[in-house]
Structure 1
Amino acid sequence: MKFGFAMRLAAVFTFVLSSGLVLSRTVEQYHLVAPDTQQVISNGGASTHHRRPLPAHLAHPEGSGFQTGFVAFGDSYSAGIGTGFNGKEDDCRRGLGAHGELIRADLAASQGGPNSTAFQFLSCTGATTQEVLSGGPDSQMDAFNTSLPVDFALLSVGGNDLGFFDVMNSCVFRFYNFYSGTCEAALARSQAQIEGDEFAQGLQVAVTEILDAARWEKRPWFRVTVTGYARFFNDATDACDDMSFGVWWNGPRLKKDLRSRMNAMVLTVNAKIRRTVDEINARFTRDKLVFVDYDEGFDGHRFCEEGVSEPDYGRADTWFFLVGAQDNARNGTQSNHASDLETLSPTSVLIDPSFCLEPAQRSGDWGELALCYMAMAKARDPSLQLARGDFVAENSMWYVPTYYGKTFHPRSLGHETIRDKIYEVWRGLE
C-alpha cells in the first residue's frame, strides 16, 4: 500500500509508519509525528531506552492532539516476561520492557503524553493460538475492547503450540531430570506439530477474528504485525560442546548438533508463520498482515557465542534470559519477585509433586511447569543435587516461576531489537 505525503483525504485517522513515526492523516494532508524523547513512560514509572536520532523534518507538530491506539496479542515473547514490572507481577507475567510497551511509549511521547495512546496489552505467558481466539476461559479476543481506538495489532504466537518448552526441558534443562524423556522424542514431536496444519489453521482463525473485531473494512489502514522468533544459539563454535544449562548436576551438554537442530526448529517455525501470513494476505486485495523476522538482529547476542563460557550469568550482551539471570535493561532496574517467595517455596503445599502437573500444563506457564517438574524429580529421587547449589543458596528468587519461565525469552535489549525491526519493516510499507 503506497502512501504520498500530499494526498488529500476525507477522514482523520492515524497509522504507525517508521522508527516510531506516527503518520497523522488529516483532510488536507499527512502530518508526520516523531518521538523526540528517550523516556519510556508506563504505569506511572519511567525508564530509559535507546532511540536512534530521527531527521529534523520529522519533528512533532505542536498541538496536533491526535490519539492512536493498538493492541498486543500473544504469548510470553509478546508479554515480555522477566523485563520488569511495578508492584506484584500479574499472572500473565507482562513486562514493562516488552516491545509492545516500548512502541506504546514511543507513540505516547510523539503525541504529547502517556494518555494520548490507547494500548491494550492482552498478551499472556503460556498462551497458545486457542487462547487468543474468542470463546475460551482465557480468551484474549474476548478481552479486546473495540470501543477504544485501534489502528494496528501486534501478534506473537506459536511457541507454545509447537512444543518449545518440551524441547527445552528434554534437551537443555532436564527439569524433570531423566524422567523428562529423550531429546530425540521431543524434537520429533515438535517437528510433527510444525509440519501439521493445526497451527496454521488456528493462526488464520485468530487473525480473521482480530481483523473482524477491529472492523478493518472501516479502517483500511489497519494491519496485524506478526512477529517470529530468534535462534537461541551460535551453532558454529565447538567451544560450547562441554557446557551445560542443566538444572541438576551432570546435565546434558550443549553439543553443536543439538544447537543446530534447535536453531533449525526456530527457522522452520518462522517459515511456517511467514507462509501462513502470505496465505492470509492472498485473500485480500491489499495486505492486512505483515511478518517481522527479527532473527538476524540477534546475531552475536545468542548463547554459546565465541569466547563465552556458558552459563554466563554476567554477560549483558546475551539477549536471551538464562534461568535466574538478571535483565539487561539500560537503566539497570531489575525485577523483584520477593512478594511471591512464601507461596512458591519448594516446601509449600502449592508445589505438591502429586498434584501440580495438571494445573501447570493447563496454564502453559514455563515457570510453573519447570517448578512442578523439579518438585516431582526431587520427590522421586531425594538425592538429586542442583547444578548450581551454591548459587541457589545466595539467590532468594530461585523458587519463583518467572525465575525459570523467562529462560530463553528476550531480555530488554532483545525487545529493543524486536521493536526496531518492526519499525524497519513498517518503513518498507511507506
Structure 2
Amino acid sequence: MKPSFAMRLAAVLTSIVSSRVVSGRTLQQHPLITPGDQYVIGNGVSGYHRRPPSHIPLASSKGISPVTGFIALGDSYSAGIGTGVDGTEDDCRRGLGAHSVLIASDLLAGQGGRNSTTFQFLSCTGATTQEVLSSQDGSHESQIDAVNTSLSADFALLSIGGNDLGFFDVMNACVFRFYNFYSGTCETALKNSRDQISSDEFTRRLEIIIIEILDRVHWEKKEYFTITVTGYARFFNDVTDDCDEMSFGVWWNGPKLKKDLRIQMNEMVLEVNAKIRETVKTINSHFIKDKVIFIDYDRGFDGHRFCEEGVKEPDYDLNDTWFFLVGGPDNARNGTRSNHVSDVQTLPPTSALVDPSSCLEPAQASRDWGRLALCYMAMAKHRDPSLRLARGDLVAENSMWYVPTYYGKTFHPRSLGHEAIRNKIYEVWQTLE
C-alpha cells in the first residue's frame, strides 16, 4: 500500500515545524519560476538545483517516496495578492509570498532538487465557487478544468468563499466607502452576507468543487490524495476601545471603526469558517478515510489584527499587522517584496485610466476587489468632483486610477500572515500521522 499523504510529507516537513525554522524563501529566488499556471520545481529540464539545508531531511532518507506534486486553487487569499511579483503582475495577481508558494519552496529545499515536484498554481484573485467550477463567460478554462492531469499531484490546497459571501460589499459599505454615499448601508451589506452564509447554496457549491477536484485527479487510484481547505481570519481586535474614533475610509470623514462594527465583521468571518468546517465534515462522512482537511488558522492571527491595543489606525509602519492596508507595504522578512511603489512599477505598460462611464460591468464581472474599488472611486469622484481623499499620500497623484492591486490587496494577508497560514497547515498535517 502506498504511504499516506501525512507520511510522505512528514519526512520533508517535520524538522521545519519542530525546530520552528521559517526560511522566508520564496520561489522568486528560483529563476525557473514565474507566477503562472503550472511549473516544475526540482530536477526537470529547466530545474533549479540546490543542496538542502542540513535541518531538512530528504524524503528518500527514510525510505518514503517524496512528494511529487500539488495544486493550489481558489481565490485571492490563495493567490497571495500583494505579496510580491517577479516582473509584471498577472491578471490573477498571484504573489510570491502566497502560502502555497512557500510550501513549494520548502518542498524544493527539503528534497534537495533530487526529485521533481510539480506545482500547479491556479488560484486567481476574484474567483468564486462558480468560477472554480466553470468559466463564467466561456472564454477560458475553469480552475478545475485547467488542472493538468498528466502531472502528478499528491494533494491540493483550496481557499474559496469570500467572494461568494459578500466580503467586498461589506468592506465597501462598512469600512472604505469607495463609492462614497452610493456605497449602500453597512447594515444591508452585513445582512446580505449573513443571508448568503446561512443559505445552502454555498455549501452545495463547495461540496461540488471538492468532489470535482477529487474526480479530476482520479482519487480512486490515489487513496493518499487529500484536499486541504483553508478558512479565513478575523480582521479586528474587537475588545479594545482604542479604535472607536479611527477610520479606514478612503474619502474624508469616513466611517469609524466602532466596536460593534468590528464585532459584527469578526462574527461574519467565524460564521464562514463554521460553514466551511461543517461542509468538510459532511464530505468526509461519505468516505472511509477523510479526504478533506480543514485549516482554521484564525487564532494564529491573535495580536496581529487591525485595532490591536495601543495602535493608532491606520498605521502603515506597523509590520506586526498581518493584513494589508490600502496601498500599504508588505512585511516580508527580506523586505524586498511588494510595496506601494512596486504596485505601480509592476503594471503592464498599456495600463489605462479607469473610465467611470464604462468600468462597472467589467469590474463586477471580474470580482477583483481592486478593480471594483477603483471603478467606484472614479464614479464617486465623477459625480462629486469636490470629494477629498482622507489621506493625501494615499496614492501617487498620477497613478490612483490604474493600480488595482493597491486597493485590492487590502484586508488580505501580508507575507507574515501567509507564513502563519503555512505553519498552521504544517501543524495540522503533522497530526495526521
Q: Per the shorter chain, which TM-score range?
A: 0.7 to 0.9
Distance 1:252 1:33, change over 3 A: closer
Aligned length, in residue pairs = 401
Name the structure where strand makes up a greater proportion of residues. Answer: 1
Contact map agreement 1:341 1:400 (CA 8 A) in 2: no
Which aligned pairs between 1:291-370 and structure 2 lie closer than 5 A? 291-335=294-338, 336-337=342-343, 338-340=345-347, 343-344=350-351, 348=353, 351-370=354-373
Secondary structure at 1:280 match in 2: helix
Report the TM-score when normalising by structure 2.
0.86
Q: Which residue of 2 aligns with 1:257?
A: 260
**How many Å apart are 1:427 and its aligned residue?**
1.0
Distance 1:37 1:407, change over 3 A: closer
Secondary structure at 1:414 match in 2: helix
**How many Å apart are 1:249 and its aligned residue?**
0.3
In 2, the alpha carbon distance for the partners of 1:422 and 1:214 equals 21
Distance 1:296 1:269, change over 3 A: same
- The AA in structure 1 aligned to 2:329 is Q
Q: Which residue of 1 aligns with 2:183?
A: 180
Q: Identify which range, 398-407 or 142-151, moves more after superposition.
A: 398-407
In 2, the alpha carbon distance for the partners of 1:282 and 1:296 equals 26
Distance 1:17 1:411, change over 3 A: farther
Distance 1:374 1:394, change over 3 A: closer
In 2, the alpha carbon distance for the partners of 1:175 and 1:322 equals 14
**How many Å apart are 1:396 and its aligned residue?**
5.5
Contact map agreement 2:122 2:143 (CA 8 A) in 1: yes
Are residues 1:280 and 2:269 paired? no
Which aligned pairs between 1:130-149 and structure 2 lie closer than 5 A? 130-134=130-134, 136=136, 137=138, 138=140, 139-149=142-152
Secondary structure at 1:389 match in 2: coil
Secondary structure at 2:196 match in 1: helix
Q: Which residue of 1 aligns with 2:39?
A: none
Contact map agreement 1:17 1:423 (CA 8 A) in 2: no
CA-atom RMSD in angstroms: 2.6
Secondary structure at 1:217 match in 2: helix
Contact map agreement 2:252 2:390 (CA 8 A) in 1: yes
Which aligned pairs between 1:74-113 and structure 2 lie closer than 5 A? 74-113=74-113
Distance 1:277 1:60, change over 3 A: closer
**How many Å apart are 1:142 and its aligned residue?**
1.1
Contact map agreement 2:15 2:56 (CA 8 A) in 1: no
- The AA in structure 1 aligned to 2:228 is T
Report the TM-score when normalising by structure 1.
0.87
Are residues 1:419 and 2:404 paired? no
- The AA in structure 2 aligned to 1:287 is D
In 2, the alpha carbon distance for the partners of 1:88 and 1:263 equals 34
Are residues 1:372 and 2:375 paired? yes
Q: Which residue of 1 aligns with 2:117?
A: 117
**How many Å apart are 1:265 and its aligned residue?**
0.2
Contact map agreement 2:130 2:205 (CA 8 A) in 1: yes
Secondary structure at 1:155 match in 2: strand
Contact map agreement 1:298 1:319 (CA 8 A) in 2: yes
Are residues 1:402 and 2:390 paired? no
Secondary structure at 1:70 match in 2: strand
Identity within the alignment, %:
67
In the TM superposition, what whole-angstrom CA distance separates every residue of 1:265-310 from its partner, at most 9, and x where no partner exists? 0000000000000011111111110100000000000000000000
In 1, the alpha carbon distance for the partners of 2:173 and 2:93 equals 24
Q: Which residue of 2 aligns with 1:28?
A: none
In 2, the alpha carbon distance for the partners of 1:320 and 1:83 equals 11
Which aligned pairs between 1:40-55 and structure 2 lie closer than 5 A? 40-42=25-27, 44-45=29-30
Q: Which runs of 5+ in 1 are unaligned?
A: 1-8, 24-31, 48-53
In 1, the alpha carbon distance for the partners of 2:114 and 2:303 equals 34
**How many Å apart are 1:43 and its aligned residue?**
5.2
Contact map agreement 1:322 1:407 (CA 8 A) in 2: yes
Q: Identify which range, 310-319 or 108-117, moves more after superposition.
A: 108-117
In 2, the alpha carbon distance for the partners of 1:55 and 1:41 equals 18
Distance 1:221 1:61, change over 3 A: closer
Q: Which runs of 5+ in 2 are unaligned?
A: 34-52
Q: Which residue of 1 aligns with 2:274?
A: 271
Distance 1:15 1:244, change over 3 A: same
Secondary structure at 1:225 match in 2: strand
Distance 1:59 1:397, change over 3 A: farther
In 1, the alpha carbon distance for the partners of 2:88 and 2:218 equals 35
